[in-house]
A = this chain, B = another copy of it.
Amino acid sequence: MAKESSAPVHRKTTLSDIAAGCGVSRATVSLVLRGSPLVNQRTRAKVEEELRRQGYVYNRAAANLRRRTSSSIALVVNELANPFFAEFAAGVDEALGEAGFVTLLGSTGESAQRQQAVLGSLVEHGPGGIILSPAEGSEVREVLSAVGSHTPVVLFNRELGGRLPASSHWDRLMLDNERGTRMATEHLIAHGHRRIAFFGGHDDASSSRDRYAGYAKAMQAAGLPIAPHWRVESKPTRTDAVAAAHALFQGEPKPTAAVCYNDAVALGLMLALHQRGLQPGRDFALTGFDDIAEAALSMPPLTTLSTAPRARGRQAAELLLSRLQDPQASARAIVAPVELVVRESSRTLS
């Protein structure tokens, strides 16, 4: 059992109070609440009046206990303050809300350890399912031990390390990372770039590996070599990217363009370029990934790959909801397409 904590709750009015208040049984009130056609019009009206009068609020926890059901879904993301995940979460919550579910929020801060704690705490609340965007470096084994094999899971955005047992069918919703960076790289090549770096992200995350792979394939297909120092890793945050960026220019030959892991590190790279006296979009071309709102507003506006995170959120929710409908259906794996959005940051050399 995880850390325990609770708040006292004032005495609320219950089914029995209503029943007593208008001279029927608890069972009847329950039927009224659930809109059963069995109850007589007259008693229904009487009960509803009493419900209003006493200000009754339904206790879903008690109902769920008895019915052995759940009306909540846990959503675990890396970092809510990241606009990509914020949009995603907004989409999830929207779709879940429409379906009558409530969202339990958890945030891991990219730590596999914290993810364990958060999952542990969330499952105790008995969610009907979990939407998980895994922290970097987390393993199937860990997650499985935290959530058990009976709660449905939808994985978003990243794969987990390790192999999933055949018994538990988890659905996945991934972005077409490889295709995205391939398009971005081809775009840069088409604009005349030959020395193109891949910047940011950490290779123990599957999304980072995939994005690198797309870049590498495009380079290979064009017959272009990749210098080792053109691959610079960083945390997927702007601040970390600024610090890491200078490594790009330590060796020869220097790159003239970079495909970045995501928009955050691309924006960080832009800052670092300014610090070095290079003007992004003129002296150096770069592309991002995610198309967060800031991408259109940066200086210069950032060429990037649009992932429509809000739509992805809705999609993840729908994936989970349909899994709840049919727990035995075979696992689905959706790869959502991404779209290249060309802006000023990649308009050099052409």
Contact = CB atoms under 8 A, between A and B. Distances in A.
Contact of A6 (B70, B145, B297): B70
A305 B274 CA distance: 25
B81 A97 contact: no
Nearest to A51: B1
A34 B1 contact: yes
Contacts of A10: 150-151, 327
A293 B81 CA distance: 10
A68 interface: yes
A122 B298 CA distance: 38
Given A83-B86, A297-B294, A93 B106 contact: yes
B81 A83 contact: yes
A79 to B, nearest CB: 7
Nearest to A150: B10
A249 interface: no
Contact of A70 (B7, B106, B150): B7
By size class, the interface of chain A is: 35 or more
A335 interface: no
Contacts of A7: 69-71, 101, 128-129, 324
A58 B2 contact: yes
A226 B107 CA distance: 46
A61 B100 CA distance: 18
A138 interface: no
B2 A125 contact: no
A38 interface: no
Chain multiplicity (copies) = 2
A170 to B, nearest CB: 14
A126 B11 CA distance: 12
Contacts of A99: 5
Nearest to A86: B86
A274 to B, nearest CB: 11
A195 to B, nearest CB: 27
Interface string A61-74: 11011011111100
A90 B105 CA distance: 10
Nearest to A87: B81
A112 B143 CA distance: 39
A333 to B, nearest CB: 21
A75 B34 contact: no
Nearest to A145: B55
A9 interface: yes
B106 A59 contact: no
A281 to B, nearest CB: 12
10 contacts: A6-B69, A12-B148, A61-B126, A72-B125, A80-B89, A81-B310, A86-B86, A103-B104, A297-B297, A297-B299
Given A79-B90, A97-B121, A102-B105, 18 more contacts: A1-B58, A5-B101, A6-B71, A8-B68, A9-B126, A10-B150, A11-B68, A57-B123, A57-B124, A61-B126, A62-B65, A71-B125, A72-B104, A80-B89, A86-B86, A89-B105, A93-B107, A297-B297
Nearest 8 pairs of A and B residues by beta carbon: A5-B100, A7-B128, A6-B69, A10-B150, A86-B86, A7-B324, A80-B90, A1-B58
